[in-house]
């Protein structure tokens, strides 16, 4: 089994749930002018920009605020060409707080975004663990939130997306932007999810993984879970199992993408995330889709459909329980493929900070400890 999968298994079994309650692993270094604006409730909009896992927490925050009807409008952009991604009036609006996110601090896109956005507003905050973003912040007097994750897996920060979420809730609460950090609710959810994850539940995840093997995977959900969950699910499958996975909205899929299921020569799998509270239109659309693609006709021979039911008590239990289940699926799928990483993300993103060669070089004599503990 590849080293990343051994570390992934260790994370899933020992660290994932505990991360929900480790919401103090950060530090604030805010300039007084910006902090006063925040505490005086000047901002009713947040614009996040970042790439990959550094931005995924923004999508979770956006969906959670919408679910809880928290009156802060959140926008997320995953690039730096702001002319095409965001209305300039939003940037110039004194009610908008811009948060530029890069866990490593070395990704070029958030740095480029900053160079453009600073022409329109000074209400900017960096969210990082250091790197070039920290250097820019010190040079240009920009406020900072530092991630201070204890003993993180340097190569795969996506492990900690949900902990980032609990941390940001604490940050926004500490700064007076929201009325609770949800610490008690997260703790209760963590305990409930632990009870839910029996050996039988884990075996169910393994069975789903078996059915996904050697197939192109399309993930479908209605907007709530497409926004908050599916992007992270896709990352888990892509990065950890190194398997092909794509995502779409349930309704949009039926208006275009379904055409590729006409008579597929390669094996296809639909993984549908069904919320118990879907409206009748969505319920009917899912039922109809399953009926069409499971009909006993030759054209469906390479198609398999699986459902993951989201039926837990509240947002936290629904989100984190489903994600934990998906992480097990990704793990078992990864064991099946057993691919050795080519470290394509660090190479394609041109960010060597995530590359194992860089990590070993920086750790020096401690690199053996890193491998001993995590591989």
Domains and CATH numbers, the chain: 24-180 (3.40.50.10490), 188-337 (3.40.50.10490), 344-374 (no CATH)
pLDDT at 375 over 80: no
SS (H, E, C) 87-149: CHHHHHCCCEEEEEEECCCCCHHHHHHHHHHCCCCCCEEEEECCHHHHHHHHHHCCEEEEECC
Among residues 148, 140, 121, the alpha carbon closest in space to that of 49 is found at 121
Q: For residues 161 and 230, what is the distance between their CA atoms, to the nearest angstrom? A: 13
119 vs 275: CA distance, rounded Å: 43
pLDDT at position 185 is 96
DSSP string spanning 28-53?
EE--HHHHHHHHTT--SEEEEEE-TH
Nearest Cα residue to 236 out of 323, 176, 153, 170: 323
30 has pLDDT over 80: yes
Instruction: With cut-offs at 50, 70 and 90, classify the pLDDT of residue 91.
Output: very high
Q: Which helix (H) or strand (E) holds 273?
A: strand 268-275
Question: What is the pLDDT averaged over residues 126-147?
Answer: 96
Mean of pLDDT values over 153-176: 94
Is the pLDDT score of 95 beyond 90?
yes
**Range 78-89 burial, b when 16+ CB lie within 10 A, else e:** bebebeeebeee
Q: What's residue 260's pLDDT?
A: 94
- Return the percentage of the chain with pLDDT > 90, whole number: 86
The two three-digit tokens of residue 259, written as one number: 């055409």
pTM: 0.94
The pLDDT value given to residue 180: 97
The chain-wide mean pLDDT, for the chain, equals 94
State pLDDT tens for residues 347-359: 999 998 888 888 8
Q: What's the mean pLDDT in 149-154?
A: 89
Tell me: pLDDT of 195 over 60.
yes
CB 40 within 8 A of CB 366: no
What's the chain's Rg over C-alpha atoms?
Answer: 21
pLDDT, mean of residues 10-16: 94
**Measured between alpha carbons, how far is 59 from 65 in angstroms, rounded to an integer?**
10
């Amino acid at each position: 089994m590849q080293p990343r999968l051994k570390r992934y298994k260790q994370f899933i079994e020992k660290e994932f749930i505990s991360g929900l309650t480790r919401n103090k692993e950060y530090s604030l270094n805010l300039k007084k002018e910006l902090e006063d604006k925040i505490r005086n409730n000047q901002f009713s909009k947040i614009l996040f920009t970042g790439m990959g896992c550094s931005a995924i927490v923004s999508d979770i925050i956006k969906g959670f605020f919408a679910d809880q009807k928290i009156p802060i409008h959140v926008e997320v952009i995953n690039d730096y060409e702001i002319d095409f991604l965001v209305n300039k009036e939003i940037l110039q609006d004194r009610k908008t707080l811009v948060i530029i996110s890069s866990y490593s601090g070395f990704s070029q896109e958030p740095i480029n975004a900053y160079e453009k956005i600073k022409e329109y507003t000074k209400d900017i905050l960096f969210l990082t663990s250091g790197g070039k973003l920290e250097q820019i912040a010190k040079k240009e007097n920009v406020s900072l939130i530092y991630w201070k994750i204890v003993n993180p897996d340097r190569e795969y920060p996506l492990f900690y997306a949900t902990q980032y979420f609990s941390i940001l809730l604490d940050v926004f609460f500490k700064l007076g932007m929201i009325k609770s950090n949800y610490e008690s609710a997260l703790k209760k959810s963590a305990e409930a999810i632990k009870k839910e994850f029996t050996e039988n539940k884990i075996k169910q995840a393994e069975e789903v993984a078996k059915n996904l093997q050697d197939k192109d995977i399309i993930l479908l959900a209605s907007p709530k879970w497409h926004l908050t969950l599916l992007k992270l699910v896709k990352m888990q499958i892509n990065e950890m199992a190194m398997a092909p996975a794509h995502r779409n909205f349930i309704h949009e899929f039926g208006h275009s993408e379904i055409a590729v299921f006409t008579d597929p020569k390669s094996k296809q799998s639909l993984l549908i995330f069904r919320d118990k509270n879907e409206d009748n239109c969505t319920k009917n659309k899912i039922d109809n889709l399953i009926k069409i693609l499971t009909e006993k006709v030759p054209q469906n021979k390479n198609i398999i459909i699986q459902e993951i039911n989201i039926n837990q008590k509240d947002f936290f239990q629904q989100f984190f329980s489903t994600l934990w289940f998906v992480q097990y699926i990704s793990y078992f799928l990864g064991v099946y493929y057993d691919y050795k990483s080519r470290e394509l993300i660090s190479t394609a993103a041109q960010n060597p900070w995530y590359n194992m060669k860089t990590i070993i070089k920086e750790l020096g004599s401690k690199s053996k400890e890193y491998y001993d503990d995590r591989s």
